[in-house]
């Protein structure tokens, strides 16, 4: 099959730890055609959606290490029509550009897109997780989203938790996630002004969430494929940070899913699949869902490293991609045959 990865630029890849590179290498190993582009490379050429692609020339032998694969990759530039690919693997970082989705809308019936455009539209920021549970379901910690400063301050004062987390709707990698302690509220007005009001007069929503006790011991990243967990790891924050993100200095350890975490996956898996969110990374603390990452969930290479006997998460993901593409091709073939039957009648 031919796969187009819509992602961050090739030269921004970390050849040691990049999950997207692991997925690309797995495709190359299986002999699939590969092209990469960024969302900004999408183009309409004579009414057909194209992309300025970086095409990976086929390799005689695909090196087993990620670093060697990255170094050896022989690339060329070419403009290619997106509907000619069998699959589009979306791996760009947030925020999601709605215009980019409009480009992809034009090919969504021709190409299998992971995650689905509907799913990405719905889950492109933290509101998707914030509205996941209701007051009785206990899936997520008590969460408020608002632009109303007075409302938010009242929630902090009324909350039973003595610590809370404040985060922007659109961050990733731990950016802007701060801890608020009830005992030190003198800065809260200024902080909320900073998060809510932009210098041009526009405003942002913020998320206020009960701090989950035990978060200083780390959080759990679980990768779910088609609603089922395929790998997990524990991320432990560095000594001078409350956030567990690896990009914020967290370190990674092996983790076997607890009963509660397995039950959480069972509970949320069907909704994820129903929303077209086939490959996601969830962040879990104390059995509670903190975030659903749908755009470019990472962790593949770390999970591969911490597990013995060795696992290769990327193999499962590409197996799934191949099966989805096959389903689509068979459906096209079937339709072509049936059309012919009617035409010949």
Residues contributing to the site for Mg ion (CB under 5 A): 283, 291
Distance of CA 98 to the CA centre of its chain: 16
Query: CB of residue 197 vs ligand ADP: minimum separation in angstroms?
Result: 21
Residue among 47 and 183 whose Cβ is closer to ligand ADP? 183
Binding partner at 300 among Mg ion, ligand ADP, none, C-beta below 5 to 8 Å by kind:
none
Query: CB of residue 95 vs ligand ADP: minimum separation in angstroms?
Result: 12
Measured CA to CA, the distance from residue 231 to residue 224 in angstroms comes to: 7
Among candidates 287, 38, 276, 291, which has minimal Cα distance to 169?
291
Among candidates 217, 145, 156, which has minimal Cα distance to 183?
156
Residue among 2 and 17 whose Cβ is closer to ligand ADP? 17
Residue among 39 and 299 whose Cβ is closer to Mg ion? 299
Stretch that binds ligand ADP, among 16-24, 182-190, 237-245, 252-260 (CB under 6 A): 237-245
Stretch that binds ligand ADP, among 54-62, 173-181, 265-273, 297-305 (CB under 6 A): 173-181
Residue among 232 and 290 whose Cβ is closer to ligand ADP? 290
Residue among 100 and 177 whose Cβ is closer to ligand ADP? 177
Tokens of 319: 């197996």
Q: Say how many C-beta atoms besides its own lie within 10 A of residue 58's C-beta.
A: 12
Among candidates 142, 87, 134, 145, which has minimal Cα distance to 112?
87
Tokens of 250: 């967290």
Is the CB of residue 287 less than 8 Å from the CB of residue 261? yes
Measured CA to CA, the distance from residue 252 to residue 31 in angstroms comes to: 32
Which of 25, 144, 243, 255 contacts ligand ADP by CB under 6 A? 243
Q: Does 171 bind ligand ADP (CB under 6 A)?
A: yes
Binding partner at 215 among Mg ion, ligand ADP, none, C-beta below 5 to 8 Å by kind:
ligand ADP
Task: Give the contact letters, 194-223, x = binds to ligand ADP (CB under 6 A), - = no.
Answer: ---------------x-xx--x---x----
Burial class (CB in 10 A: 0-12, 13-18, 19+), 187: exposed
Residue among 20 and 244 whose Cβ is closer to ligand ADP? 244
Q: Is the dihedral of CA 214, 217, 222, 228 positive or negative?
A: negative
Which residues on adjacent β-strands are paired with residue 89?
5, 114
Query: CB of residue 20 vs ligand ADP: minimum separation in angstroms?
Result: 17
Q: Does 174 bind ligand ADP (CB under 6 A)?
A: yes
Stretch that binds ligand ADP, among 63-71, 163-171, 193-201, 295-303 (CB under 6 A): 163-171
Tokens of 52: 């300025």
Among candidates 103, 92, 124, 100, which has minimal Cα distance to 277?
124
Binding residues vs ligand ADP (CB under 6 A): 141, 165, 167, 171-175, 177, 209, 211-212, 215, 219, 243-245, 283, 285, 290-291
């Amino acid at each position: 099959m031919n796969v187009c990865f819509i992602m961050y630029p090739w030269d921004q890849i970390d050849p040691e730890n990049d999950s997207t590179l692991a997925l690309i290498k797995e495709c190359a190993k299986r002999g699939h055609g590969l092209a990469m582009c960024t969302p900004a490379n999408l183009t309409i050429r004579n009414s057909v959606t194209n992309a300025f692609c970086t095409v990976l020339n086929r390799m005689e032998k695909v090196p087993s290490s990620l670093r060697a694969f990255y170094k050896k990759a022989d690339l060329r530039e070419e403009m290619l029509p997106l509907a000619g690919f069998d699959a589009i693997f979306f791996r760009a970082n947030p925020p999601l550009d709605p215009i980019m989705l409009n480009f992809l809308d034009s090919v969504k019936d021709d190409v299998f897109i992971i995650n689905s455009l509907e799913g990405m539209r719905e889950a492109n920021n933290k509101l998707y997780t914030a509205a996941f549970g209701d007051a009785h379901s206990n899936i997520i910690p008590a969460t408020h989203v608002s632009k109303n400063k007075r409302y938010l301050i009242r929630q902090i004062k009324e909350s039973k938790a003595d610590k809370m987390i404040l985060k922007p709707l659109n961050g990733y990698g731990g950016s802007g996630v701060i801890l608020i302690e009830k005992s030190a509220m003198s800065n809260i007005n200024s902080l909320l002004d900073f998060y809510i009001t932009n210098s041009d007069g526009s405003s942002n929503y913020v998320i206020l969430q009960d701090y989950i006790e035990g978060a200083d011991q780390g959080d759990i990243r679980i990768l779910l494929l088609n609603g089922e967990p395929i790998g997990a790891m524990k991320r432990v924050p560095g000594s001078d940070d409350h956030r567990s993100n690896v990009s914020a200095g967290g370190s990674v350890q092996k983790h076997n899913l607890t009963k509660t975490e397995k039950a959480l996956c069972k509970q949320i898996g069907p909704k994820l699949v129903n929303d077209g969110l086939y490959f996601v990374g969830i962040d879990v603390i104390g059995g509670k869902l903190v975030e659903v990452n749908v755009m470019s969930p990472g962790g593949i290479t770390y999970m591969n490293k911490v597990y013995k006997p060795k696992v290769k998460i990327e193999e499962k993901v590409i197996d799934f991609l191949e099966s989805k593409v096959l389903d689509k091709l068979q459906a096209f073939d079937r339709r072509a045959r049936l059309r012919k039957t009617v035409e010949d009648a």
